[in-house]
Amino acid sequence: MTSSPSPVSFGEEAYRPQIHYTAAETWINDPNGLVYADGLYHLFFQNNPYGTNHANMSWGHAVSTDLVHWNDRPVAILCDDEEQIFSGSIVVDEGNTSGFGAPGSSPLVAIYTSAYAEDSAHHGIQAQSLAFSLDGGETWTKHEGNPVLDRGSRDFRDPKVFRYSGPDGSYWVMVAVEAVERKAVLYRSDDLRNWTHLSDFEATTKVGLIWECPDLFPLAVDGDPENVKWVLIINLHREDGEGGSAGVYFLGDFDGTTFASVGVGASADDGGAPAAEYGWLDFGRDYYATVSFNSAPDDRRILVGWMNNWDYARSLPTSPWRGSMALPREATLRTRAGRVVLEQRVVPGLEASGLPRSLGLLDVPEGVRALPLECREIPCLIEATFDAGSASEFGLVLLQPGEGQPGEGRSGEGRSAEEGARLCYDVERGELALDRRFSGNTELHPLFSSIERAPVALIGDRLRLEIYLDAGSIEVFAQGGQVTFAEQVFPDPSSTGVSVYAVGGTAQLVALTVTPLKPAPVVRERESAHAV
């Protein structure tokens, strides 16, 4: 009953993502210096240019016109004996406030963390430094007066700088972290070289073991420019055993000096009482160091996360690269059931590579039922709508041993009938879970096997899921992006089957569509040298 003729093939590089950015043959972690300039989206990132482990931190570089197709560029800012180049941001310095460019020009200025090495007089300290580019981001010069902001701290890092305009004029604002103190620190500057402390932000209830990679930006609630809220993103390590790397967001007001949190999910109906102090950015295990682009067109707020988790990042079974970015997402603030929440959708631009295959209305009685449709083409987009019906639990099982592999698929060594990545909706709890405990290779690290849960309300008894399946990952957007999960999975390449299931009654699969997506392989530096 399978309508796709060719079996899935990952080629020689098992798990090489087809629609996610990866370096050709090196290690990457955090996205850095996300900036849109002169028609190009620049993705810089933490990169070890010499290997596949976290070392020699430098800034790698790729560019894109559409956030789908990426071209590798040469390493932008290289570590040396004195410092590693830790995370940070880039601004388009309009009007040349820094003086790094010619009068009236707009140089790109990177603000990064110098993590000083043994050979440095600042050994053990983390401080903020500058580098600039006068050729659109291709080549970078470190500022001679580095560092420009030094608190004498060992854990002061990850500066995000943006242009702020308010009643007192326009200036640069930096939000960075005192990682161990779990504190966001804010500074201002007129020239990017001299910084004055503005304020600190701490959560009322301590969250995470350390804070990293903050971001602060305004968003119009429901697109209404008269109703702007500020979003403070904090990436953090959760308490041991709680899932490792994750991200939260605070909502509030920023007056140019202080960020005042008002809580997440404030409701007009109950006198504005917030539901929580912060919200989770994503409920999966692999969405970290997420920050947004500066200067994106039309005030869009586009986020990129590292699709990984420090718990096991060094143990990924991929070769010769390690680490990938999550799909770029557009963030919006929406009022849902009277509450303001952050939503995320994949930035449009991925194209279908063939006709969508659909199933119509189908009863899902108690038990597991294999669907007459497989996900043989990777990458693909799966769109599913369920009606809870009388079931107490229902869901979807992906990456199951496919029909094409009867014997060895279900009973072969190391494979079991339970195999698959499960999306489980618990009606009573109002909870969606992503269970990757049987999703293939989970042995890569003791902390990899996981089941993660998120509160999700049905809308008119229905659950709507959009799922992007690529080699090595699954990204789930529930109820139009109200709740998301980004996770890595390392299934057997032949596990392409899809099942639905219900418990305690009959649910309905209202519709299910699988759309094969066009691979967008990264154009590598070697190949692009002649083309660009």
Give catalytic residues, as residue numbers: 30
Q: Name which of 57 and 125 has its Cβ closer to ligand FRU.
A: 57
Pick 15 or 59: Cβ nearer ligand FRU: 59
Applying the rule CB under 6 A, the residues between 107 and 136 that interact with ligand FRU are 113
**What phi, psi does 237 have (nearest 5°)?**
-95, 125
Give dist(CA 354, CA 350) in Å, integer.
Answer: 12
From the list 15, 70, 86, 230, which residue makes contact with ligand FRU (rule: CB under 6 A)?
86
Is the bond preceding residue 379 a cis peptide, omega within 30 degrees?
yes
How near is the Cβ of 173 to ligand FRU at its closest, in Å?
19
Separation of alpha carbons 241 and 461, rounded Å:
34
Beta-carbon neighbour count of residue 360 at 10 Å?
8
Name which position in 72, 83, 93, 158 contacts ligand FRU (CB under 6 A): 158
Site string for ligand FRU, 26-55 (x = CB under 6 A): ---xx---------------x---------
DSSP 3-state assignment of 360?
coil
Extended beta strands in 403-461, E state:
420-426, 431-438, 451-455
Place of tokens 């939260």: 248
Secondary structure string (H, E, C) spanning 221-262: ECCCCCCEEEEEEEEEECCCCCCCEEEEEEEEEECCCCEEEC
Q: Residue 417 is encoded by which pair of tokens?
A: 């009938």
Among 28, 34, 37, 57, binds ligand FRU (CB under 6 A): 57
For ligand FRU, the binding residues in 185-224 under the rule CB under 6 A are 212-213
Binder to ligand FRU among 289, 304, 433, 486 (CB under 6 A)? Answer: 289
437 within 8 A of 450, measured Cβ to Cβ? yes
Which CB, 55 or 352, lies closer to ligand FRU?
Answer: 55
- Nearer to ligand FRU by C-beta: 212 or 487? 212
Whole-angstrom distance, CA of residue 241 vs CA of residue 286: 15
Report phi then psi at 395, rounded to 5.
170, -165
Site size for ligand FRU, by CB under 6 A? Answer: 12
The answer to whether 192 and 93 have CB atoms below 8 angstroms apart is yes
Closest CB to ligand FRU among residues 178, 393: 178
Neighbours of 366 (CB within 10 A): 17
Min dist. Cβ of residue 422 to ligand FRU (A) = 29
The verdict on 83 binding ligand FRU (CB under 6 A) reads no
Report, in Å, the least distance between residue 202 CB and ligand FRU.
Answer: 18
Among 26, 47, 87, 508, which residue sits at the site for ligand FRU (rule: CB under 6 A)?
87
| Shorter beta-carbon distance to ligand FRU: residue 158 or 178 | 158
CB of 245 to ligand FRU, least distance (A): 7
For the bound state, the minimum distance from the C-beta of residue 286 to ligand FRU, rounded and expressed in Å, comes to 12
For strands 156-166 and 141-142, give the pairing. Answer: unpaired
CB of 77 to ligand FRU, least distance (A): 13
What letter represents residue 37's amino acid?
A
Catalog residues that contact ligand FRU under the rule CB under 6 A: 29-30, 46, 57, 86-87, 113, 157-158, 212-213, 289
